[in-house]
Amino acid sequence: MYQPSQTRYDSMKYKSCGKSGLKLPAVSLGLWHNFGDTADYENMKRLLFTAFDHGITHFDLANNYGPAPGSAELHFGRILKEDLAPYRDELLISTKAGYEMWPGPYGNWGSRKYLLASLDQSLRRMKLDYVDIFYHHRMDPDTPLEESMGALAQAVKSGKALYAGLSNYDGETMIKACRILEDLRCPFVLNQNAYNILNRTIERNGLKQAALEKGKGIIAFKPLEQGLLTDRYLNGIPEDSRIRTDGRFLHEDALTDAKLTVIRQLNDLAAERGETLACMALKWVMKDDAVTGVLIGASRPEQILENLKALEGAPLSAEELKKIDELVQPLLA
């Protein structure tokens, strides 16, 4: 039986989601990859236990994480039941709905019918009474925002979720959604969006500014751009890397010569600071007042330990931040 480390809360930092009372660890772990049917069950346990042993209290899932869709929630539910059940109140567990989950018109996007049925399915897979955060996974141009937000509010009112979240929303739509959720007295606390040195979408689509203005948190997903912002691909594509072992969402052609050149320059800058590129890339995301925490993925426990070093040492100086912007400018244009 797993016994968590007694020192698990000694070094992690926790920050409130915007103006809410809910605190996120500076680093959270996502189960998008490495928790599906093709992954090793014992490794899943090692990943979760390593994370929790170091104060990573937040595990992020979605209905469709796998492969097969749903299997990450199933495996997570089994580990929860077998090993983590005594610690349920120490854990923050999130799931989402918004992408295709089952065939037909009711298994995708943002209808009340889909969102509430999907949450019930997620709870059954994870063997949970409630999740801590239930997200709408993406904006739905064809469903009235009032309907999707009404479903999130219903999820909270029914006790199946404690808080509501929005993922992949832009600033303007988030503000509209926020007003509806306020009217419904629904505790919407957190946005989940991609943000890293190479992906500045939330600076351009208003989400970052809007979250600050509305007092909402941001958890930054893909902070390492799926592994590109690490030393993983500096000398070719390793056989055990995400590009080779999975490749559903990260293809070899993402590694252009231009990108690789910039990644190598970033790696040199990190080396000058005496840290890895992964560490520097996470510090870059964490520097921001608008960001509550980073949401990493990992294929092995050592990566989690390496990434936690981003909590130590000097933050990036103004000069280093400027240098990073100059290096990546050609890729952002």
Binding site for ligand NAP (CB under 6 A): 30-33, 60, 137, 167-168, 192, 221-227, 230, 232, 241-242, 278, 295-299, 303, 306-307
Q: Which is nearer to ligand NAP, 16 or 245 (CB)?
A: 245
- The CB-of-277 to ligand NAP minimum distance in angstroms stands at 8
Cα–Cα distance for residue pair 319/28, rounded to 1 Å: 28
- The CB-of-269 to ligand NAP minimum distance in angstroms stands at 16
Residue among 100, 165, 169 at smallest CA distance from 134: 165
Q: Which is nearer to ligand NAP, 157 or 235 (CB)?
A: 235
Give residue 272's Cα distance to chain centre: 29
Q: Which is nearer to ligand NAP, 143 or 167 (CB)?
A: 167
Residue 176 half-sphere exposure, CB side, CA atoms within 13 Å? 10
Q: Which is nearer to ligand NAP, 31 or 190 (CB)?
A: 31
Cis omega (within 30 of 0) for bond into 68: yes
Inter-residue contact 252 to 240 (CB < 8 Å): no
- The CB-of-185 to ligand NAP minimum distance in angstroms stands at 25
Q: Which is nearer to ligand NAP, 123 or 135 (CB)?
A: 135
Angle CA 296–297–298, to nearest 5: 125
- The CB-of-44 to ligand NAP minimum distance in angstroms stands at 12
CB-neighbour burial class of residue 67 (10 A; exposed 0-12, middle 13-18, buried 19+): middle
- The CB-of-276 to ligand NAP minimum distance in angstroms stands at 6
